[in-house]
Chain A
Amino acid sequence: MFAYVVKRLISGVLVVTLVSMAIFLLFWFGPSSPAQPICDRETQNRCTAAKLDIYEKTLGYKNPVYEEYGKYVKGIFVDRTLTIASNDYECSAPCMGVSFRTKQPVKEELVSRIPATFSIAIGGAFLYLLFGVPIGVAAARRRGSVADKALVSSFLFISSVPYYLFALLTWLYLTITFEVPFFSDTGYFPITQDGPFKWFSGLFLAWVALGIFGCTQYTRFTRGAMVEALSEDYIRTAKAKGLPTRTIVYKHGLRAALVPVVTIFGIDFGTLLAGTIFTERIFEIQGIGWWSLEAVQGRDLPVVQATALFSAVVLIISNLLVDVVYSVLDPRVRLS
Chain B
Amino acid sequence: MTSVPMTQSSATESPDDRGSDGPYLQVEDLKVTFPTQDGPVTAVSGLTYSVEKGKTLGIVGESGSGKSVSSMAVMGLHDTKSAQISGSIRVGGTEVVGLSEAKMRGLRGNSMAMIFQDALAALHPFYKIGGQLEEAYLVHHSSASKRDARRKAIEMLDRVGIPQPDRRVDDFPHQFSGGMRQRAMIAMGLINDPSLLIADEPTTALDVTVQAQILDLLQDLQREFNSAVIIITHDLGVIAEMADDVLVMYAGRCVEYGTTKQILTAPEMPYTWGLLSSIPDVGASTDARLIPIPGNPPSLLRPPSGCSFHPRCVHSDKVPGDLCRTELPELVPASSGTAHLKRCHLADPVGVYTTEVLPEIAPELVEETR
A interface list, Cβ under 8 A from B: 232-234, 236-245, 247, 252, 255-256, 329-332
Contact = CB atoms under 8 A, between A and B. Distances in A.
A146 to B, nearest CB: 14
B174 A332 contact: yes
3 shortest interchain CB distances as A-B pairs: A242-B109, A242-B108, A233-B121
A239 B123 CA distance: 12
B126 A242 contact: no
Contact of A256 (B105, B106, B124): B124
A242 B107 CA distance: 7
A237 B136 CA distance: 10
Given A234-B121, A236-B77, A241-B108, A330 B135 contact: no
Nearest to B118: A233
A252 B125 CA distance: 10
B122 A331 contact: no
26 contacts: A232-B121, A234-B121, A234-B123, A234-B125, A236-B122, A237-B116, A237-B123, A239-B77, A240-B77, A240-B108, A240-B114, A241-B108, A241-B109, A241-B113, A241-B135, A241-B188, A242-B107, A242-B136, A242-B139, A243-B105, A243-B135, A247-B139, A330-B125, A331-B126, A331-B174, A332-B125
Interface string B93-121: 00000000100011111100110101001
Contacts of B174: 331-332
Contacts of A232: 121
B139 A243 contact: yes
Nearest to B125: A332
Nearest to A330: B126
Nearest to A234: B124
B276 to A, nearest CB: 31
A237 B124 contact: yes
- Which residue among B116, B125, B140 has the maximum number of chain A CB atoms within 10 Å of its CB? B125
Given A236-B77, A241-B135, A241-B139, A256 B125 contact: yes
Given A241-B109, A242-B109, A243-B139, A236 B124 contact: no
Contact of A255 (B114, B126, B136): B126
Contact of A242 (B105, B116, B118, B122): B105
B113 A240 contact: yes
Contacts, number: 68
B267 to A, nearest CB: 32
A224 to B, nearest CB: 18
A238 B109 CA distance: 9
Contact of B125 (A245, A247, A331): A331
B204 to A, nearest CB: 13
Contacts of B123: 234, 237
Contacts of A233: 116, 118, 121-122
Given A238-B124, A331-B126, 12 more contacts: A237-B123, A237-B124, A240-B109, A241-B108, A241-B136, A241-B188, A242-B106, A243-B105, A243-B135, A252-B124, A256-B124, A331-B125
Nearest to B106: A242
B74 to A, nearest CB: 11
Contacts of A331: 125-126, 172, 174
B191 to A, nearest CB: 9
A329 B116 contact: no
A34 B62 CA distance: 76
Contact of B140 (A238, A242, A247): A242
Given A256-B126, A331-B126, A236 B116 contact: yes
B75 interface: yes
Contacts of B118: 233
B121 A240 contact: no
Contacts of B121: 232-234
